[in-house]
């Protein structure tokens, strides 16, 4: 047994300092391997993270998700449905964010409610056109207040977004443009 230890010491120059550095080096190598395998798996998943093709039913579900997020007061979730370069009622996205923040601040605890009717979706080749009758109101114990009712038309396009510090890209349907008839005016900012 002692002979084996001496051979081990001669082959690997055993000392407390060298052994601990070698052991920590193995931990570093294993951690680097784990990170590399994780990145490889994310890269492999990158190609499979595409949104399914749009259909009339998928368009209705998209509108329903937006309405649910609005009614729940989840403005970040609602804004996530829009492409970063979207034009909403002729305004850039940052104006919509400001208008939503201002409206939620001014409304306080009052809850706005959106409802849709007559949702229609048309395949326009590279994008989809969704139109619906949109009503935004507030229900109070003493009154029902309707803020506006309008026919809203949205253009949906596939948009690429990146996550995990740009390591993973996904493709999802996002709102690229919104128009209303009669027009809904956003305040100037």
Which two three-digit tokens encode residue 125?
A: 């080749």
- Among the listed residues 112, 104, 105, the one whose alpha carbon sits nearest the alpha carbon of residue 140: 112
Whether 124 and 143 have beta carbons less than 8 Å apart is answered as: no
- With b meaning 16 or more CB within 10 Å and e meaning fewer, what string describes 101-126? eeeeeeeeeeebebebeebebeeeee
Q: What pLDDT was estimated at residue 43?
A: 65
Whether 159 and 177 have beta carbons less than 8 Å apart is answered as: no
Q: What pLDDT was estimated at residue 34?
A: 83
Local confidence band at 148 (pLDDT 50, 70, 90 cut-offs): confident
Q: Reduced to 3 states, what is the DSSP secondary structure of residue 6?
A: helix
Query: Quick one: DSSP state of residue 51?
Result: P
Q: What global pTM score does this model have?
A: 0.68
pLDDT in tens, 168-188: 677 889 999 999 888 776 666
Q: How far is CA 107 from CA 13, 98, 100, 110, 150, in A?
A: 74, 14, 10, 5, 21
> Average of pLDDT values for 70-87?
89
Q: What pLDDT was estimated at residue 129?
A: 93
CATH-assigned architecture of domain 56-181: Roll (3.10)
Going from N- to C-terminal start, the domains of the chain cover: 2-46, 56-181
């Amino acid at each position: 047994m002692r002979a084996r230890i001496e051979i081990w010491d001669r082959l690997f120059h055993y000392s407390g300092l060298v052994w601990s550095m070698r052991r920590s080096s193995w931990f570093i190598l294993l951690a680097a391997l784990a990170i590399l395998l994780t990145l490889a798996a994310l890269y492999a998943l990158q190609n499979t993270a595409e949104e399914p093709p749009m259909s009339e039913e998928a368009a209705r579900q998209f509108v329903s998700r937006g309405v649910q997020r609005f009614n729940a007061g989840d403005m970040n979730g609602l804004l996530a449905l829009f492409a970063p370069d979207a034009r909403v009622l002729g305004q850039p996205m940052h104006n919509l964010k400001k208008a939503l923040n201002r409206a939620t601040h001014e409304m306080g605890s009052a809850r706005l409610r959106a409802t849709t009717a007559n949702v229609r979706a048309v395949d326009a080749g590279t994008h989809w056109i969704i139109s619906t009758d949109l009503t935004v109101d507030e229900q109070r114990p003493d009154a029902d207040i309707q803020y506006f009712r309008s026919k809203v038309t949205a253009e949906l396009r596939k948009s690429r977004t990146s996550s995990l510090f740009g390591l993973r890209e996904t493709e999802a349907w996002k709102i690229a443009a919104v128009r209303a008839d009669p027009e809904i005016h956003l305040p100037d900012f």
